[in-house]
């Protein structure tokens, strides 16, 4: 079953979907899926397009409650992208789904993986993080300030152009998130790092750098033949389901 609602996050209205299983009992665990930031033409609005379906599948197969929301500027959510705004959005989603007696984990894709790591580093409610195709070096991932600023506009995650930070401010805001520093703060909580062997957007070496920053205290899964888009890859789904099962 997939329930839909809207929540407020500092001026933005976010779409939130929460999946539960009608076939398996609730086991007291909750997973929040965190979408990334595609930079292709118009794709920002579809960044979370496959996640509700994935949430339903994961909930039915695992017995977990699985939530997924669209951040500011994505899908039907209002607002404009910035790293700070998306961190606030993720915190708002966690606050909404936190029932106080559940174990919360995050699973993030691309930049969403970096965001999930940063959130877990400062929020002890998060008991585990799975990151897929997450960049370890955001200075390289953003490229130049002007290029990144243009890519954000092309992606279409801008509600009001007056709310979009300047190129330097926007890039500086992203670089305030340091995935290598964040992941080092998470163990002994559970960590899974997944990456496609043929990822052309985020090099596979980033996954190994994240593992090293966690002092090796993470599961590393390299998916052969996979590129950057892992959300619909059945091997990623199987990897995540296995991680959830071991997380009971």
d(CA 51, CA 69) in angstroms, rounded, equals 9
Structure confidence by residue, pLDDT tens digits, 220-247? 999 999 988 888 789 999 999 999 998 7
What is the pLDDT at residue 47?
67
Range name among 41-55, 91-105, 192-206 with the lowest pLDDT average: 41-55
Q: Across the chain, which distance is largest between two alpha carbons, in Å?
A: 50
What is the pLDDT at residue 246?
87
Range name among 42-51, 63-72, 114-123 with the lowest pLDDT average: 42-51
Q: Is the distance from CB of 101 to CB of 70 less than 8 angstroms?
A: no
d(CA 17, CA 113) in angstroms, rounded, equals 19
**Half-sphere exposure of residue 22: CA atoms within 13 angstroms, side-chain side:** 3
Structure confidence by residue, pLDDT tens digits, 6-42? 999 988 999 999 999 877 666 689 999 999 998 776 6
What CA dihedral angle connects 135, 138, 139 and 145, to 10 degrees?
120
Q: Is the distance from CB of 126 to CB of 103 less than 8 angstroms?
A: no
Closest by Cα among 173, 52, 38 to 118: 173
Please report the domains of the chain, with CATH numbers, ordered by start residue: 2-246 (3.40.50.1820)
Predicted confidence band at 1 (pLDDT cuts at 50, 70, 90)? confident
What CA dihedral angle connects 145, 147, 148 and 153, to 10 degrees?
120
Q: Where are the beta strands (DSSP E) in 58-142?
A: 65-70, 103-109, 126-132
Q: Is the distance from CB of 16 to CB of 31 less than 8 angstroms?
A: no
Q: What is the mean pLDDT of residues 87-112?
A: 93
Q: Where are the beta strands (DSSP E) in the chain?
A: 2-9, 12-19, 29-34, 65-70, 103-109, 126-132, 190-196, 219-223
């Amino acid at each position: 079953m997939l329930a839909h609602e809207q929540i407020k996050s500092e001026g933005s209205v976010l779409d939130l979907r929460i999946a539960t299983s009608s076939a398996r009992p609730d086991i007291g665990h909750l997973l929040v899926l965190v979408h990334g930031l595609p930079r292709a033409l118009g794709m920002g609005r579809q960044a979370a397009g496959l996640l509700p379906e994935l949430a339903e599948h994961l909930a039915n197969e695992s017995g977990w409650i699985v939530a997924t929301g669209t951040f500011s500027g994505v899908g039907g959510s209002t607002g404009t992208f910035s790293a700070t705004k998306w961190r606030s959005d993720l915190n708002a989603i966690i606050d909404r789904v936190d029932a106080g007696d559940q174990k919360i984990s995050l699973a993030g894709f691309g930049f969403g993986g970096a965001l999930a790591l940063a959130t877990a580093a400062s929020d002890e409610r998060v008991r585990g993080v799975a990151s897929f195709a997450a960049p370890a070096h955001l200075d390289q991932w953003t490229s130049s300030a002007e290029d990144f600023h243009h890519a954000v506009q092309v992606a279409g995650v801008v509600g009001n152009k007056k709310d979009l930070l300047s190129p330097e401010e926007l890039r500086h805001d992203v670089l305030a998130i340091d995935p290598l520093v964040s992941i080092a703060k998470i163990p002994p909580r559970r960590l899974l790092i997944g990456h496609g062997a043929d990822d052309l957007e985020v090099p596979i070496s980033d996954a190994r750098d994240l593992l090293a920053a966690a002092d090796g205290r993470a599961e590393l899964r390299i998916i052969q033949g996979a590129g950057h888009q892992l959300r619909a890859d059945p091997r990623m789904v199987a990897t995540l389901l296995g991680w959830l099962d071991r997380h009971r």
